[in-house]
Structure 1
């Protein structure tokens, strides 16, 4: 990727957010998690003016979530496949103005939380956004990198 990576706090062309879709992972906290993510999405799309792509991980709740966000500007509800909502770790990294995005292999945080579909998130985001991916043949979690938009990267 030759384009600089925007700062974490800079406006983005779109912000991808995972919807808590799996009752079997959230148990009694599912409704609370959904309310929290809804608040985040509404803040990003409203006052934040971000274009939000809200990925839903289970087809049987897609219509319910579409209805929940009906009429909310800047929010697009997208069907997908994932286990964990932390798309920051599983999705690709876009450069500023880049026509491609960098993608990496994902191994469920070292095998601790290997959830079906998490290794497919980057490809789904690339396909939906029409952005070709440059696949890197090593394991990485995108959330382990923090960018300042000027070429400095902090990592764990």
Structure 2
């Protein structure tokens, strides 16, 4: 039986967490010549998160764990809320290489399938192939199973029939965003393009069926293209994000000469025309883009949409830009019950990702009844 048949759904990011998962940085090639400050950026992230919820950190060996614990202690993190999992990784972008957690609402008595008892929280293990671009992912692809074993949770590995052959479904967490009620955001560039094609031959209907079966999604909103500099070829978590069940923030670029202007205008139009799972229009809020962040002639994927929502706090990437304050103020108004905190990401974004890319939420078991909006 599929997760959806058993009553599972992907919860919204603002629903209660048991923990946030990250992996301690070690792949120096992601930050060429600028790796030294990266562990301290991670320490600041953990310091903020550990004031509000547990943080689970994947480390490759005992020495890395010891160094990480020392840096976290110096940075003032709450180490009583930090735990470590020993597992080898190629890179540290857990939004994409980690699992997608799903939950069952209402009666949280255990379900059963094929003789196996399944609790109210489980996880989905998508096939990871490093964004159909890189070849260093053979360690990363095993991480969801390691996390499932650590937590004692049921784990599904979705398959879809492509040209009459059942195949593992390739998907990264940064390619999707949900409101927890049945609506999902994604992009055509990421999931339907022939460039960096994740599931060649599956098509729009097949992808939507995968979302329905495994995430309980009944309504998919397709945006167009991603931001300039995004090596994932169109991840939605740099573009548009749900902030409540009916509200989406989306980045915009007013400068017509900027290559982001046209695709972001198209995405804004699509969102204004979109409907949620109940056929109702969305509230769409514009979020600015920072000025281009350039390193050695390469534009990096700097975006305020790459924020992360945790228990009691929202952490937002900042870029030493006048628009930092505007973005923080917009998000603070949209999250009145959470602290909104900026984290300096000019160094971090050299790795081609920031706060949402590196994190993965582990939801708490629902207490019963439908989720709050």
The separation in 1 between residues aligned to 2:138 and 2:32, in whole angstroms, is: 18
The higher radius of gyration belongs to 2
Q: Please tell me whether residue 21 in structure 1 is matched to residue 26 in structure 2.
A: yes
Structure 1 gap segments, 5+ residues each: none
Match of 1:72 in 2: 79
1:38 is displaced (CA, Å) by 1.1
Match of 1:132 in 2: 154
Runs of 4+ in structure 1 deviating by more than 4 angstroms, as ranges, are none
Q: Deviation per CA, 1:23-82: give whole Å up to 9, x if none.
A: 354343222111111111111111xx1211011134432222133335623111222111
1:107 is displaced (CA, Å) by 0.6
The separation in 2 between residues aligned to 1:111 and 1:58, in whole angstroms, is: 27
**Counterpart contact for 1:147–1:153, Cα < 8 Å:** yes
**Counterpart contact for 2:129–2:137, Cα < 8 Å:** no
1:95-106 equivalences under 5 Å are: 95-97=102-104, 98-106=120-128
Match of 1:120 in 2: 142
1:134 is displaced (CA, Å) by 0.7
The separation in 2 between residues aligned to 1:27 and 1:57, in whole angstroms, is: 20
Match of 1:40 in 2: 45
Please point out which of 50, 68, 86 is paired with 2:53.
50
Q: Secondary structure at the match of 1:140?
A: coil
1:130 is displaced (CA, Å) by 1.4
- The higher relative CO (CA closer than 8 Å, separation ≥ 6) is in 1
The separation in 2 between residues aligned to 1:26 and 1:6, in whole angstroms, is: 32
Please point out which of 162, 178, 199 is paired with 1:147.
178
The separation in 2 between residues aligned to 1:28 and 1:116, in whole angstroms, is: 25
Q: Please tell me whether residue 111 in structure 1 is matched to residue 149 in structure 2.
A: no
Deviates more, 1:120-129 or 1:61-70: 61-70
Q: Deviation per CA, 1:99-139: give whole Å up to 9, x if none.
A: 42111111111033533411111111111111121111211
**Count of paired positions:** 154
TM superposition score normalised by structure 2: 0.39
TM superposition score normalised by structure 1: 0.86
The separation in 1 between residues aligned to 2:20 and 2:87, in whole angstroms, is: 15
The separation in 2 between residues aligned to 1:50 and 1:113, in whole angstroms, is: 34
**Counterpart contact for 1:11–1:50, Cα < 8 Å:** no
The separation in 1 between residues aligned to 2:135 and 2:46, in whole angstroms, is: 25
Please point out which of 83, 93, 100 is paired with 2:100.
93
Q: Secondary structure at the match of 1:95?
A: strand
The separation in 2 between residues aligned to 1:113 and 1:32, in whole angstroms, is: 26
Q: Secondary structure at the match of 2:13?
A: coil
